[in-house]
Amino acid sequence: RKFLKKKLREASVAKVEIDRNPNMLTITLHTGKPGVIIGRGGSGAEELRRALEKKFLRTKGTKLNLSIKEVEHPSGSAQIVAQNIALEIERRLPFRRTMRRALEQIMKTSGVAGAKVELSGRLDGAEIARNETLSRGKIPMHTLRTNIEFGRTVAITTYGTVGVKVWVNHGEVFSSLNDTKASSNR
């Protein structure tokens, strides 16, 4: 996972699934930008497959199956949003504007009830590190029935590292279950 996240930093990888069998290794990449990974005519995917085989597959009998799946709404994925914020901070864009823009982008996504972004570290090169938090909508952290997606990453800047955390509230999990019970009771 570390190898893939480092190699595919610009490709907005939300999740890496690894399925190990005795003679087959299946790696599924969930990404917001599949074209960046696949490349022209699939050359990027083949190059990635060769790099993975060279680094991790030492036995001859094991086969590698690499599949790339696109995330439907990248602006609703907490991990992809966190990576985008980190990339913008590394490009030295103002952190408050970056946070605000990311929150607006998340809230435009359908099915999102709320979002929260937290940056911590030496923000804009300040000598004393601090935390800055912005939120929109509802993020009930103590409610178990709420589907909250969490993503975190680190922005490596010239003056140190800045931690980026993103919470995205996708609504209640049991709301559709309760609707069916209510309609059956009538």
Residues forming CATH 3.30.1140.32 domain(s) in the chain: 74-175
Sequence-ordered list of residues with C-beta below 8 angstroms from that of 53, at least 6 positions apart, any chain: 64
Measured between alpha carbons, how far is 13 from 79 in angstroms, rounded to an integer?
8
Residue range 50-63, pLDDT digits in tens: 888 888 777 777 88
What count of residues does the chain have? Answer: 186
Helices (H), the chain: 2-7, 34-38, 43-56, 78-90, 95-108, 175-185
Sequence-ordered list of residues with C-beta below 8 angstroms from that of 186, at least 6 positions apart, any chain: none
Measured between alpha carbons, how far is 12 from 33 in angstroms, rounded to an integer?
6
Measure CA 41 to chain center. Answer: 26
Under CATH, to which class is 74-175 assigned?
alpha beta
Measured between alpha carbons, how far is 131 from 135 in angstroms, rounded to an integer?
13
* Architecture of the CATH domain 2-70: 2-Layer Sandwich (3.30)
Asked if residue 166 has pLDDT above 70, the reply is yes
What tokens appear for 36 in the block? 């960046």
Measured between alpha carbons, how far is 52 from 114 in angstroms, rounded to an integer?
38
Residues forming CATH 3.30.300.20 domain(s) in the chain: 2-70
Asked if residue 183 has pLDDT above 60, the reply is no
Residue range 88-146, pLDDT digits in tens: 999 999 999 999 999 999 999 888 999 999 999 999 889 999 999 999 999 998 988 89
Q: How does the average pLDDT of the chain come out, rounded?
A: 87
What tokens appear for 168 in the block? 């995205």
Per-residue pLDDT at 175: 56
Measured between alpha carbons, how far is 38 from 32 in angstroms, rounded to an integer?
12
